[in-house]
Amino acid sequence: MPFINGKSKTSAIEYGKAFAKTLNGGDVVLLDGQLGAGKTHFAKGVALGLNISDTITSPTFTLHNILEGGKFTLNHFDFYRLDSEDEALNLGLSEYFGDKKSVCLIEWWQNVKGLLPKRVKKVSIKVIDQNTREVTISDENFDN
């Protein structure tokens, strides 16, 4: 389902809000897309859809933002800066994956693929052009 730029930030947020209604505690959601595709705006929408009113920013430099106050705790990860799965493991970040009281959103998940649970949801945001993004949501199974 595409969303249109120009209002793409708003559209990505609205799409994320709608997607949040499908989430259950313990869900791990992989956000896939190039830099600037709209992953963080989608995450803002998910937070709003979970009734979290905190300001959502990209966790690129912190690796992990914990957002509470909604239906579930939202763990928003950005593993862009990780060099190995061992870094996430040593920091205890994988312990949040599958927690039934929370939902995890993971940007740059490829850097921790071996630590992910077997079943995850994947949201792929593809830049078509400056004005259009294509969003695909799928269920994925990993055999780690």
- Model pLDDT for residues 95-106, shown as the tens digit of each residue: 999 899 999 999
Cβ atoms within 10 A of the Cβ of 117, count?
15
Cβ(92)–Cβ(122) below 8 Å: no
CATH class of 2-141: alpha beta
Write out pLDDT tens, residues 56-85. Answer: 777 666 789 999 888 899 999 989 888 889
Q: How many CA atoms lie within 13 A of 88 on its CB side?
A: 26
SS3 label, residue 56: coil
Spans of all domains in the chain: 2-141
pTM as predicted: 0.88
